[in-house]
Amino acid sequence: MTPENDAAARYFSAITAALSGLEVFMRDDRSPLYRHGIVAGIVAEYIARLDKSFSCWRNRLGFMDTFRISRAESGFPVFQNLLELENDRRQADARLANIPLAGELREEMADFILRHKEFPEALQKSMAERLYLEDVKSETTFGPFTLAQTAKVSVNPKTARPYYLVHWATFDGSANLPLVYMVTVEDSSEAMIRQLVDRNGKLNEAVDIPLPVDGLLNPELAHRFDDFTEKNSAYTLSPATIAVNLDKDFEPLHPKQLRRVVLGPFYSAGITDNNSTVTEVLAKVRKPENAWLLTWTIQEVYSKGEKPGRKGLFSSEKTTQEFFINTDDLEAARQGVSSYENHALIPHEAYQALYAAGEAQKIFSGYKVHILSNGQVISDV
């Protein structure tokens, strides 16, 4: 195995272990995040998508020599890899038609070995490409942008408006970071109120809503909402800016809360160099598969009140939200959020190495630390 292939194998082993551990954390009812209920489940679904992308990329190395990651910053693959994955998905059927079936390739490989007494590299690459394309075609991966879904519908008893929990995701091409968005938004559209709210101000049980629903539940606004989310999901935009833009651009929509989960940076010994102290200590971890650290941030902005709209003969103003920004916390103000949480997931052996080196307290200052040990996640250490 070449040094490049060895490094790639270590990277994929590390990121797969990290994402598997993070998914365990998100789905564990003892997890601190589980108090958010449906939120953890939604994030876990996107982590599973991301994990499938890495599985496909790993298979792709069987016939392609290059795979680039953002070594000095996010530790995640560069955006070009996601574009190539999507392009391969679109072309999968056409390319598979030109590659022999797996059974035929195995027979050819066995025959080649018997006749030539050497390994059939060209046939092996064809087999790897076939398996990769079949995988890409059938699996749900983490794409450059994932359209919104409505995951929950209810009614606010105070306003008698239906409200939706809507989520979507994007991979930011500049920061090379996966981002997951969730927004709770009330809908004052007369048609949706008539349809979804009964005479007692509760959700109309006679209406069958097969959740999750692709897109925003309001069909008249669904396409515009998709267009909005695709244009307003960049990492450079603060959650407050996105919430204000949503409030401004849609007359009947009233965003009450917006969350953004930023996955990363990811640190892996001998692969990434995005933090010299972390890299130096992780390099001392005995088992390479345990020499990693994954961080993520949960950002939230919420409405503290609503400014009533005004209708007049010559001008009118829509109802607007007053979003709370915690100016008492300089970092919250910088991020443009009401609150935020920094989290870190690390294998037990790697945490011990950081602790022994006297670096744990400094590195994890301001973080909620979660330790992965024997397939379980231990929090509040």
pLDDT digits (tens, 9 = 90+) for 26-74: 877 666 565 667 888 899 999 999 999 999 999 898 888 778 999 989 9
Q: What is the mean pLDDT of residues 252-277?
A: 92
- pLDDT over threshold 50, residue 350: yes
Average pLDDT value over all residues in the chain: 90
Q: What is the pLDDT of residue 317?
A: 77
Q: What is the mean pLDDT of residues 358-370?
A: 91
For the beta carbon of residue 228, count every other beta carbon within 10 angstroms: 19
Q: What is the pLDDT of residue 375?
A: 82
Q: What is the pLDDT of residue 256?
A: 97
- pLDDT over threshold 80, residue 2: no
Distance CA 293, CA 371 (A): 10
pLDDT digits (tens, 9 = 90+) for 67-84: 899 998 999 999 999 999
Q: Omega before 265 cis (within 30°)?
A: yes
DSSP 8-state code for residue 337? -
Distance CA 123, CA 118 (A): 12
Q: How confident is the model at residue 158 (pLDDT cuts 50, 70, 90)?
A: very high
pLDDT digits (tens, 9 = 90+) for 85-96: 999 999 999 999
Q: What is the pLDDT of residue 39?
A: 86
Taking each helix axis from N to C end, the angle separating 38-60 and 79-96, rounded to the nearest 10 degrees, works out to: 60
Token output for 97: 């038609």
pLDDT digits (tens, 9 = 90+) for 198-236: 999 999 999 999 999 999 999 999 999 999 999 999 999
- pLDDT over threshold 60, residue 139: yes
pLDDT digits (tens, 9 = 90+) for 290-344: 999 999 999 999 999 998 877 655 556 788 999 999 999 999 999 999 999 999 9
For the beta carbon of residue 212, count every other beta carbon within 10 angstroms: 16
Of the candidates 268, 247, 163, which has an alpha carbon nearest to the alpha carbon of residue 209? 163
Task: State the pTM of this model.
Answer: 0.93
Distance CA 346, CA 357 (A): 15
Cβ-in-10-Å burial (0-12, 13-18, 19+) of 129 comes to buried
- pLDDT over threshold 80, residue 5: no
Residue 308 belongs to what H/E stretch?
A: none
